[in-house]
Amino acid sequence: MMAIRELKVCLLGDTGVGKSSIVCRFVQDHFDHNISPTIGASFMTKTVPCGNELHKFLIWDTAGQERFHSLAPMYYRGSAAAVIVYDITKQDSFHTLKKWVKELKEHGPENIVMAIAGNKCDLSDIREVPLKDAKEYAESIGAVVVETSAKNAINIEELFQGISRQIPPLDPHENGNSGAIKLGKPATQASRRCC
């Protein structure tokens, strides 16, 4: 039997960029053996094979509204990965993305895998954010980057495969029964200040 690793993934990004659409697409497109309980589109799970492991993504959505930003740390604590979504047709959303990256670097879990998703690539004719910008930025922070279309189911699979690849494999010497969750356990961040 393959080991199941539970990986908590949180979704960040402005409201309206299609965070949950990406996840809905990812979760619903494929038949999943275990019908896991969900909370609407806010909490979903999906298990995918990766090498000799199974990665069970526990995907936490967050509220994108500006006023709820300060609540985000509660959601991303303990995450193995963060998917930060922007809308290629909205420059502002790319700006917000940068703010998220900065925050995660400062206050997020150590070794968190970051994946950048430029959503709505089906609307490239009204694009505001060039792919090159995104790629350059992603490279500078060591993040996975893809342009996706939740509507047309483009690159969704690839996005999560990218995350899987970035997750360090389990150290066989380590007593890792719940894997990444333990890795990403919040250190006692006593000095963390709300942003």
Which positions lie near another protein, rule CB under 8 A?
Answer: 6-8, 11, 15-16, 19-20, 24, 36-43, 58, 60-65, 67-68, 70-71, 74-75, 78-79, 177-178, 181, 185, 188, 190-193
Task: Please check whether residue 49 is in contact with residue 2, taking contact to mean a CB–CB distance below 8 angstroms.
Answer: yes
> Whose Cβ is closer to another protein: residue 53's or residue 133's?
53
Least separation in angstroms between CB 138 and another protein: 24
Q: Is 70 helix (H, G, I), strand (E, B) or coil?
A: helix
Q: Tell me how far apart the alpha carbons of residues 156 and 176 are, in angstroms, rounded to a whole number.
A: 29
Q: Please, what is the minimum distance in Å from the beta carbon of residue 42 to another protein?
A: 4
Smallest distance, another protein to C-beta of residue 170, A:
16
E strands present in 14-143: 43-50, 53-60, 81-87, 113-119
> Which of 18, 162 has the CB closer to another protein?
18
Cite the beta strand spans of the chain per DSSP E.
3-13, 43-50, 53-60, 81-87, 113-119, 144-147
**Please, what is the minimum distance in Å from the beta carbon of residue 172 to another protein?**
17
Nearer to another protein, 76 or 138 (CB): 76
Between 26 and 75, whose beta carbon lies closer to another protein? 75
